[in-house]
Amino acid sequence: MMTYKDFLDYVKENILSCMPPEYSHAEVDIFKVTKDNNLVLDGMTIRKDANGPSPIIYLEQYYGRITDKKDAKTVIEEIASDYFSAFKYYKGLTSFDPSNWDLVRGKVGYYILNAELNKERLKDKVFKSEGEMVKVYIIIADFQVSQYNFMLISQDLFAEWEISEEELDNAAEANMAAHFPPVLLSMVENMKERKSGRPAANLLRRGRALKPDIMYVLTNRSRLNGASVILYPGLLEKVRKVLRKDYYIIPFSTEEVIVVPKKSDIRGRVLEEILRENNRRPGRNNILSGCIYEYTSENKSMTIAAECLA
């Protein structure tokens, strides 16, 4: 089986053979890209002219698809197909003037990241500190697709809009609530959903009967950067009212958090160790936090769990 380096060379030399004739003289470039949590990936662009638009295709995932039954040529055919799918959505980020706030207002959103792991990536971007996490503001090309493309909002672009941070935040909050509604699922129902693909009962819906469970999953319906829902105004209090108990919050990943009612048999220190083991798993690139949190009727806010501060 070819090495990963040989695979990158093979892709660069042969990808155009899988493209339409108008790409016969396109420029193929493979380069390092730093993503969230300092993850460095090999990205590829294909441009018909030097300044033409191109989505970035990340190649690591494709190398893993090469098996005895699937050769490299078949895999680069898949890359070419995925490129054109990505290009369709990428055009959504280049089809309007991002410096025009009136055009952008309905496209802004946010997601959350670990602050310490993303210092370098965010140094020229617009974000808001949320303890050990950061709320990062983005422009989303199309809210309706299953895997959205987005760009982080730079400080320079934000300055061009001549708006306040409050106006940006209000627009982002409205868009997130409308397009990425939160869901609270029992752990049992969540596992059934992942197996069957059929949506599980959202316990946040009015009139939905609570199915008692030891743990619950809190995310958004699309599960895209779903942990961001913990910043939705009033949501954590709504969760408490549904559970009728104070609860722990395990920031399991950037995709979801785990909610554990406090009157269960699981203690805070046990949950902290569960989170640590989860974060130690090889290949983890969506780590959100190393601490567990709690939400209580007394504080009405998310704070680091008292047991974990001892």
Higher pLDDT among residues 107 and 306, named by residue: 107
**Predicted confidence (pLDDT) at residue 91 exceeds the cutoff of 70:** no
131-136-142-143 Cα dihedral, nearest 10 degrees: 10
Q: What is the structure's pLDDT at 167?
A: 98
For the chain, which residues make up each domain, given as ranges? 4-93, 101-179, 182-309
In angstroms, the CA 32 to CA 27 distance is 17
Residue 25: other Cβ atoms inside 10 A:
9
- Give the global pTM: 0.83
pLDDT tier, 184 (very low <50, low <70, confident <90, very high otherwise): very high
**pLDDT confidence bin for 188, thresholds 50/70/90:** confident
Give me the pLDDT at residue 267, please: 73
* Digit-coded pLDDT (tens) for 216-228: 999 998 888 999 9
Residue 308 to residue 310: CA distance in whole angstroms: 6
- Consecutive H or E run containing 241: helix 235-243
Q: Of all helices (H) and strands (E), which one includes residue 74?
A: helix 72-94
In this structure, are residues 118 and 36 in contact, taking their beta carbons and an 8 Å threshold?
yes
Confidence of residue 143 (pLDDT cuts 50, 70, 90): low
What integer pLDDT is reported at residue 302 of this predicted model?
A: 92
More confident site: 210 or 74:
74
